[in-house]
Amino acid sequence: MISEMVLERVAHGGIVVGRLHGKVVFTTGGLPGERVLVEITERGKRFDRGRVTEVLDAAAGRVPPPCPIAGRCGGCDWQHADAATQLDLKTAVVAEQLERLAGIRWEGTVEEVPGGLLDWRTRVRYAVDDDGTVGFRARRSHEIVPLPEQGCLIAAPGPSVAELEAAAEPGVDLEVTVADRSVTLTSGRRVVGPDPVQQKVLDRTYTVAATGFWQVHPAAAETLSRAVLDGLDPQPEERALDLYCGVGLFAGALADAGCLVLGVESGRGAVDLARRNVPEAEFLARPVERSDRDMPGWADLVVLDPPRKGAGAAVVRSIAAREPRAIAYVACDPAALARDLATFAEVGYVPTSIRGFDLFPMTQHIECVAILHRAG
């Protein structure tokens, strides 16, 4: 069913909220303030989902999407918005989540990083159908949308579509990793190119598994490291915990500042690399959620970079119990950040700074760094 609707405000998840006969419709492909035609794609008890099929009155920030599959592929959310509008949309999402979930009135703005809107994503997972066609899954679907001739426009320069299809195995996802000086293609157990790869950040080089976790924007690791260091102001000989430390990115930055660092990470492979990357630090291969008894009873500084779901109340309370001088919370989801900040407030820690960074242009995703100190 196609219906006319006026879109109201942006919401978390790359959607814009509209109403049809009083019922909320979470809509993709639109911008706040637009009058559009919408096709209802899913019906629910409390809200429906829909997609814009035609724009009747366009917002000032609307632009033609540069990618021909932008409306079908599930990877990008905001290709129809110009750069300034994307920053405004993301700023509004962070502000709404912080106020609604944590009672924090945030007046910051999501910050642009160098590099522009295209050619930035250094780690890409492609779906491959049973015929060997390479593409991406459609939004909220298992359908595979084939890549256009020019490939994925937000992917960092690397293999052509023909080269991807030559490396792909039918029915097996294909991962491409573009590192500082190399390109690696991984399909199942078959690897073409170096593994692990090297990533240089500030004055340290990190060894990372080709398919392991690493920030996907080429400016991200340095941007976040500088934000953490600027916020914490680490001093020589201070004791620091790096929780969810991965291969040791923040542990390395803290060690280079003269701190005594303990990193905690559940992935044993990542911890093995962290020990190699930051040999002057100590590392514990355990889930953070089960590490309370294994960590020292106090710390001067804490950095935590949890998965998208956030750290959770138990971890937050464990951190606060160690009475750190300052905490840096690196978050890839503003809702999870807000929930954890609300818990931190309950145990006496409040944010003195919250910065947002647009490290995922064209998509809904946002990276934030919150610096917390003891209230009062």
Beta bridge partners of 242: 263, 303
Residue 135 tokens read as 């593409």
Report the alpha-carbon distance of residue 205 to residue 121 in Å, rounded. Answer: 20
Residue 79 Cα distances to 39, 104, 338, angstroms: 19, 30, 27
Pinpoint the alpha helices (H) of the chain.
83-102, 161-167, 220-232, 249-256, 268-277, 313-321, 334-346
The answer, yes or no, to whether the previous bond of 196 is cis (omega within 30 of 0) is yes
Say which residues have a Cβ less than 8 Å from residue 343's Cβ, sequence separation at least 6.
313, 316, 317
Count of alpha carbons within 13 angstroms of residue 44, beta-carbon side: 9
Give the distance from CA 340 to its chain's centroid.
Answer: 17
Residue 367 tokens read as 């990276």
Active-site residue, from 73, 259, 332, 368: 332
Closest CA to 211 of 236, 194, 231, 233: 194
Give the whole-angstrom CA distance, residue 346 versus residue 328: 17
Q: What DSSP assignment string belongs to 315-335?
A: HHHHHHHT--SEEEEEES-HH
- Coil, strand or helix at 85: helix
Residues 284, 310: contact at Cβ < 8 Å? no
Instruction: Check: CB of residue 118 under 8 Å from CB of residue 66.
Output: yes
Question: What three-state secondary structure class fits 187?
Answer: strand
Active site residue 332: yes
Residues designated as active site? 332
